[in-house]
Amino acid sequence: MSAGEARRVIVASTNHGKLAEIRSALDLDGWEFVTATDLGRETLDVEETGATFAENALLKARAYAEAFGLAALADDSGLEVDALAGAPGVRSARYSGEGATDARNNKKLLDALTGLPEAARSARFRSAVALVEPDGAVTAAEGTCEGRIGLRPAGTGGFGYDPLFLPAAAPGRTMAELSLAEKNAISHRGEALRALRQALTAAGRG
């Protein structure tokens, strides 16, 4: 890459929170992260048919790289609850079925764990990220955030299952009660993006 030339990466998401996290974690010299909307294009509707977060992240990144002819970055994430054999897992966004919302997903999760004591409510957020470059090279990484599912929701920050998730790294508070900076420092996505940055730098692609 010659001096002054930006390396443009299309991000396979329209979630502004995620985009801010990506820009802050992957502060690589000369890299520029854009969305389909930034380029005046439609977002792609990529079916998440993978059995794992890593497969889905790669599916999305490959589809975006091919459609846009640019390096593409995708993330796939969700919640794994041990008492539910890892559910909702890759189905986290659609856990409560057709027309799922965060509120309905959270209610279904609380109902599924009714009567279970705190010690039996262990869970983790997991995030997989994948970067596919125009030459087909793939760099991938994962991150997790361990914790428990609370007995009731608390806090208004974040999104998804944050009001129910008590991270082990922030005793006594849910993820929704942390500032964005506190969440980024301990979150699954923050960890995955930092690992991706390291892998890119180690491979001389950063």
Q: By CB under 6 A, tell whether 160 contacts ligand IMP.
A: yes
Question: 10 Å Cβ neighbour count for 39?
Answer: 12
Q: How far apart are CA 105 and CA 69, in angstroms?
A: 36
Residue nearest to ligand IMP (CB): 160
Of 162, 178, 192, 196, the residue at the interface with ligand IMP (CB under 6 A) is: 162
Angle subtended at Cα 90 by Cα 117 and Cα 146, rounded to the nearest 5 degrees: 45
Beta-carbon contacts of 165 under 8 Å, excluding residues fewer than 6 positions away, are 79, 123, 125, 147, 148, 149, 150, 174, 175, 176
Residue placing its CB nearer to ligand IMP in the complex, 7 or 91? 91
Candidate segments 4-12, 72-80, 133-141, 197-205, binder of ligand IMP by CB under 6 A = 72-80
Q: By CB under 6 A, tell whether 184 contacts ligand IMP.
A: no
Q: By CB under 6 A, tell whether 79 contacts ligand IMP.
A: yes
Residue placing its CB nearer to ligand IMP in the complex, 45 or 135? 45
Backbone angles phi, psi at 80, to 5 degrees: -115, 125
Q: By CB under 6 A, tell whether 159 contacts ligand IMP.
A: yes
- Of the candidates 37, 186, 61, which has an alpha carbon nearest to the alpha carbon of residue 129? 61
Catalytic residue check, 76: yes
Q: How far apart are CA 107 and CA 194, in angstroms?
A: 32
Of 147, 150, 158, 167, the residue at the interface with ligand IMP (CB under 6 A) is: 158
Which residues here bind ligand IMP, judged by CB under 6 A? 75-79, 92-93, 105, 125, 158-162, 175, 187
Catalytic positions, please? Answer: 76
